């Protein structure tokens, strides 16, 4: 596993991927690029990546939506800003044979990129994706929220409540003590809400797997079914006893589903 430590070549970290926070494993030309959601991190993909790294190069970047000084002033304003960042990353890494795999906001970014650049990706995996319907995970967020608000927010994302540790709550609560960052998150949430892909999904023409938590309260199972209906040839799989982040909650099952799906993306 490689944690990149090179500098950003004078790029502003508020509008680019921080190369210090790219998790990478495996080798070869066939690559899976994992995109996390609003409160996700590259590490939430780690178990899935470990299961696949003997067959594929697997990469999970930290999207530029994490707590950093200047996010509200200089950070992304639209979903297109994020998909442009990912497109630059793919170009810089010379990833010519790549499958995009996104959870929640990361799924929406992947869709946006595939619509704008047909042929860029060999395949698409959506897990609890935004873009059709999403109950905002930060409804009611205000400056300096209480720890109880944070705990309730996390509980709405995860079905497996055993994953909600005190350290996790403390970490999220600490980041939300920054008023500028809270305002930035609200901007990201509005941008996510406003970017509907309803009329664009029919344009997608690539192998697509849709993986959904059966107990997802943010993007309910009916949303996964609607994605399948609108993306021709797509495959829908539900994971039982699982919420909005199946890659984090049920990584072994998630990796098992990908193991069956990915070979077909790279054929020919």
Q: What is the pLDDT of residue 117?
A: 96
Taking a C-beta distance cutoff of 8 angstroms, is the pair 33, 105 a contact?
no
Segment 30-42 shows an average pLDDT of 94
How far apart CA 187 and CA 77 sit, in angstroms, is 7
Exposed/middle/buried for 147, CB within 10 Å: 0-12, 13-18, 19+?
Answer: middle
Q: How confident is the model at residue 11, as a pLDDT?
A: 41
Q: Are strands 235-239 and 123-127 parallel, antiparallel or unpaired?
A: unpaired
pLDDT tens sequence across 37-66: 988 899 999 999 999 999 999 999 999 999
Q: Which domains does the chain have, with CATH numbers?
A: 2-137+195-265 (3.40.50.1820)
Cβ–Cβ < 8 Å for 244, 128: yes
How much is the pTM? 0.91
pLDDT, tens only, 12-22? 545 678 777 89
30, two tokens: 């066939």
pLDDT of the residue at 158: 92
pLDDT tens per residue, range 68-126? 888 988 889 999 999 999 999 999 999 999 999 999 999 999 999 999 999 999 999 99
Strands 123-127 and 30-35: unpaired
Evaluate the CA torsion angle 152, 157, 159, 161 in order and state its sign: negative
Residue 140: what pLDDT?
60
Neighbouring residues of 218: CB distance < 8 A, sequence distance ≥ 6: 104, 128, 134, 135, 137, 156, 157, 243, 244
CA dihedral 173, 174, 177, 181 (to 10 degrees): -100
| Tens digit of each residue's pLDDT (9 = 90 or more) over 110-148 | 999 999 999 999 999 999 999 998 776 666 666 677 888
């Amino acid at each position: 596993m490689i944690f990149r430590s090179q500098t950003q070549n004078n790029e502003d970290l508020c509008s680019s991927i921080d190369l210090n926070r790219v998790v990478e494993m495996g080798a070869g030309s066939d690559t899976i690029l994992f995109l996390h959601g609003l409160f996700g991190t590259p590490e939430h993909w780690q178990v899935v990546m470990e299961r696949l790294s003997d067959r594929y190069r697997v990469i999970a970047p930290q999207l530029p939506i994490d707590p950093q000084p200047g996010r509200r002033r200089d950070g992304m304003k639209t979903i297109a800003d994020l998909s442009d960042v990912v497109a630059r990353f793919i170009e810089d890494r010379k990833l010519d044979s790549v499958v995009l795999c996104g959870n929640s906001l990361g799924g929406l970014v992947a869709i946006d990129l595939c619509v704008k650049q047909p042929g860029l990706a060999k395949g698409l995996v959506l897990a609890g994706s935004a873009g059709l319907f999403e109950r905002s995970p930060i409804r009611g967020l205000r400056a300096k929220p209480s720890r109880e608000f944070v705990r309730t927010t996390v509980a709405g994302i995860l079905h497996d409540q055993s994953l909600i540790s005190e350290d996790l709550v403390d970490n999220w609560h600490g980041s939300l003590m920054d008023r500028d960052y809270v305002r930035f998150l609200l901007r990201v949430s509005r941008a996510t809400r406003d970017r509907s892909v309803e009329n664009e999904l029919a344009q997608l023409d690539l192998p697509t797997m849709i993986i959904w938590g059966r107990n997802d309260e943010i993007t309910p199972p009916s949303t996964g079914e609607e994605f399948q209906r609108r993306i021709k040839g797509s495959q829908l799989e539900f994971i039982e006893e699982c919420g909005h982040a199946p890659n984090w909650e049920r990584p072994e099952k998630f990796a098992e589903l990908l193991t069956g799906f990915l070979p077909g993306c790279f054929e020919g």
